[in-house]
Amino acid sequence: MSTAVVRVEYADGIASIVVNSPPVSTITAAVRSGLGAAITENTGRSDVRAVLMRCEGSTYFSGADINEFSGPPKEVEFRELFARLEQLKVPVVAAMHGTVLGGGLEISLACHYRVALAGTRMGLPEVSLGIIPGATGTQRLPRLIGVDKALELILSTKPIDAAAALKLGIIDAVLEGELASAAHAWVRALVAEGKGPRRTGEMTVDPASATPEILARHRAAGAKQYPHRQAWSTAIDAVSASVTKPFQQGLAYESELANLTKVTPEAKALIHVSFAERETRRVPGLPADVKGQAVRRAGIIGAGTMGGGIAICFANAGIPVTIVDINEAALKRGLGVVDGTLESMVKRGRISAADKAQRLGLISGSLNYADLASADVIIEAAVERMDLKQQVFRQIDAVAKPGALLATNTSTLDINAIAAAVKRPQDVIGLHFFSPANVMPLLEVIRTDQTSPAAIRTAMDLAKPLRKTPVLARVCYGFIGNRMMEGYAREAQRMVLEGATPRAIDTVLENWGMAMGILAVFDMAGVDVGVHVHRSNADKYPPDPSYYQADLALFDAGRLGQKTSKGYYRYEPGDRKRHDDPEALALLAAAARRLGVPQSEHSEQEILERCLYPLLNEGIRILEEGVALRAGDIDVVWTSGYGFPRYRGGPMFHADAMGLRSLYDGMLKYRARFGPMHWEPAPLLKRLVEEGRTLADWQRAESQKA
């Protein structure tokens, strides 16, 4: 039998069900129907001694079809298909390769035996999407490896490799060589040994793997790892039921829980962000035939914090990179930091010593711009000064090969003005990495008025080997992320002048789900960094005498944050734990008196609203101005670069979730209290509220226009 995506081949008494569903063998409706037909054909065939199931292309089943998540429940359909597979009278063997996730792993658990090529990775990431493995995984996996280990895998959400899966007992063998023939040989041997079906559904769970202590340990770890979330806890409920409930009842319970989790705000938000992250690379309006250029060699100007981190990204990707700095001392210091960063990766077991040596071998230092002549991309990460950056770009212009991408890592400067310094402005682009550049997944890509489509494509494609999520933006002060940060942090700083403590503000933000309170962020990044930015951009801000004055009060007193052990908080040397500091409060109170800032009480609600509303409102402006391509891009910027809780879906998703009307009314409430300078609702917000539409509605309509 054969359908467009599934065919069955017969050889040596073995029926091989072969799935061909590129690009990643998703278990689509077509695949399920093909599998159903293949099972029907093999049910009761006397010449078939075993069934082998494998996928062609880059991977075995990578998972269920995420597009189906929002539709009617599919659990029962999956369950019935898997049951028919499991009930075949001859041994059924799953032969895996690639990355096997979610439903992909669950279908193999319904087979009687599992083998995988060396290097195959497999896991159950559902909890990271706010759902649970709902295609029999919570009942089958513990029958194979016990509740404790099953929960470890499910709650970690991370894939493990074939060797680890063999050790755990998830698979029966790790195969080498070419999958089809190696798996066929393995099945022939199985048949020769006279092995029959071995159904997971007929196994029982070892109760010793689910003692109250074990379950309590997972509950405690889950609560810590996933604050404010619930899918992890529901997963524990489902998996532990495998001990007490017979298989069929367990499956019914699993379906019930799976359907409950799918409609939670948490799942909707997490699935939204996951979709949005896949979307960012798509650039509407770029002609389809525009090709970026492959980056085989890179250059970096500036061996400082950012330059070094970016160099590690290239080396991690196997791309040779040359860093240029102004003098031997700066270069040496920078390369020393790079060495130290790689060494700490070795110490933490992230890479081997050989990996480190190989990566260091890809990074070279130079004092000569001419050494960048063969680079396909050159990223400037020197100090944040326009005259200096223009000078650097003129020097790059003189040596770079034709067509090389000329990028700046500036956070605040006008990239149009930087591009004006060179004879090839079409090749100039912003590549805004976040600190630490080798860790943070976000990459803002900023196109100027003249950046060519090919340069945009090159930059967006470059994100892939660098393992970054690229988000395209247009030039404006702060681009997407920092521009939205401006009002959020402004209010936090204003409230400490009004008498709120830094701890009160940070606690509210962290309890709401921000990875770190904004004032603690300033202490970590350096209070001086913000002060310098605000000094050099003074002409861009509204005429508010209290604007970012809390930072300045601390800065003037030499409190630069963690690096001086004093900022908004006090720190013990070598420790990042925040201690309240009356000295900081006194300085802030004195600044408030000097500036005439009235003192007030701040409820938790007020703290949250005053920080959050400007952030959301500015995001809506950015959207309307076309600075960001899509609402989802803004969500990705803030969830992957600024610690906004993923389970709230990002600022634009959250604005819809809380209701645009509440946001609008909230802006008006504070406008009435503080005046219009900072509290004018974005025009698009006002319009959507009047029309009774959401940002998602607006986005859909805009995407259809494009």
* Residue 410 contacts ligand NAD per CB under 6 A: yes
DSSP state of 201: G
Structure tokens given for 480:
């997407």
Instruction: Evaluate whether 569 touches 468 at the Cβ level (below 8 Å).
Output: no
Structure tokens given for 73:
């429940």
* Residue 330 contacts ligand NAD per CB under 6 A: yes
Q: CB count, 10 Å around CB of 285?
A: 8
Taking the complex as a whole, the smallest distance from the CB of residue 648 to ligand NAD amounts, in Å, to 25
Per-residue binding string, ligand NAD, 373-402, x by CB under 6 A, is --------xxxx---x---x----------
Taking the complex as a whole, the smallest distance from the CB of residue 413 to ligand NAD amounts, in Å, to 7
Taking the complex as a whole, the smallest distance from the CB of residue 399 to ligand NAD amounts, in Å, to 12
**Cα 600–chain centre separation:** 39
Q: Closer to ligand NAD at the Cβ: 129 or 381?
A: 381
* Residue 666 contacts ligand NAD per CB under 6 A: no
Concatenated DSSP letters of 279-347: HTT--TTS-TT--PPP---EEEE--SHHHHHHHHHHHHTT--EEEE-SSHHHHHHHHHHHHHHHHHHHH
The only residue of 111, 191, 324, 655 in contact with ligand NAD, by rule CB under 6 A: 324
Taking the complex as a whole, the smallest distance from the CB of residue 442 to ligand NAD amounts, in Å, to 10
**126 catalytically annotated:** yes
The only residue of 326, 357, 370, 439 in contact with ligand NAD, by rule CB under 6 A: 326
Instruction: Evaluate whether 39 touches 31 at the Cβ level (below 8 Å).
Output: no
Q: Is 59 helix (H, G, I), strand (E, B) or coil?
A: coil
State the SS3 of 620-670. Answer: HHHHHHCCECCHHHHHHHHHHHCCCCHHHCCHHHHHHHHCHHHHHHHHHHH
Question: Of 241-249, 299-307, 548-556, 679-687, which segment contacts ligand NAD by CB under 6 A?
Answer: 299-307
Taking the complex as a whole, the smallest distance from the CB of residue 432 to ligand NAD amounts, in Å, to 6
Instruction: Evaluate whether 258 touches 131 at the Cβ level (below 8 Å).
Output: yes
Structure tokens given for 624:
């309307």
How far apart, in Å, are the Cα atoms of 630 and each of 224, 284, 434, 547?
33, 10, 21, 30
CA angle at 519 for the pair 435 and 669, rounded to the nearest 5°: 120
Question: Of 321-329, 422-430, 586-594, 637-645, which segment contacts ligand NAD by CB under 6 A?
Answer: 321-329
Distance (Å, rounded) from C-alpha 484 to C-alpha 652?
11
* Residue 415 contacts ligand NAD per CB under 6 A: no
Choose among 148, 76, 84, 139: nearest CA to 109. 139
Question: Of 67-75, 184-192, 298-306, 617-625, which segment contacts ligand NAD by CB under 6 A?
Answer: 298-306
Taking the complex as a whole, the smallest distance from the CB of residue 132 to ligand NAD amounts, in Å, to 38
Q: Which of 106, 266, 380, 491 is catalytic?
A: 106
* Residue 173 contacts ligand NAD per CB under 6 A: no
Q: Which of 126, 444, 491, 609 is catalytic?
A: 126
Q: Closer to ligand NAD at the Cβ: 263 or 367?
A: 367
Taking the complex as a whole, the smallest distance from the CB of residue 446 to ligand NAD amounts, in Å, to 12
Taking the complex as a whole, the smallest distance from the CB of residue 372 to ligand NAD amounts, in Å, to 11
Of 420-479, binders to ligand NAD (CB under 6 A) are 433-435
Of 331-370, binders to ligand NAD (CB under 6 A) are 334
The only residue of 52, 127, 301, 404 in contact with ligand NAD, by rule CB under 6 A: 301
Phi, psi of 197 (to 5 degrees): -60, 150
Taking the complex as a whole, the smallest distance from the CB of residue 308 to ligand NAD amounts, in Å, to 8
Question: Of 406-414, 536-544, 629-637, 682-690, which segment contacts ligand NAD by CB under 6 A?
Answer: 406-414
Q: Closer to ligand NAD at the Cβ: 169 or 336?
A: 336
Question: Of 98-106, 238-246, 301-309, 396-404, which segment contacts ligand NAD by CB under 6 A?
Answer: 301-309
Q: Is 451 helix (H, G, I), strand (E, B) or coil?
A: coil
Spatial CB neighbours of 485, under 8 Å, sequence gap ≥ 6: 478, 615, 642
Site residue total, ligand NAD (CB under 6 A): 24
DSSP state of 409: -
* Residue 299 contacts ligand NAD per CB under 6 A: no
Surface-to-core class of residue 213, CB atoms within 10 Å of its CB (0-12 exposed, 13-18 middle, 19+ buried): exposed
Q: Closer to ligand NAD at the Cβ: 7 or 333?
A: 333
Residues that bind ligand NAD (CB under 6 A): 301-307, 324-326, 330, 334, 381-384, 388, 392, 409-411, 433-435
Query: Which residues are known to be catalytic?
Result: 106, 126
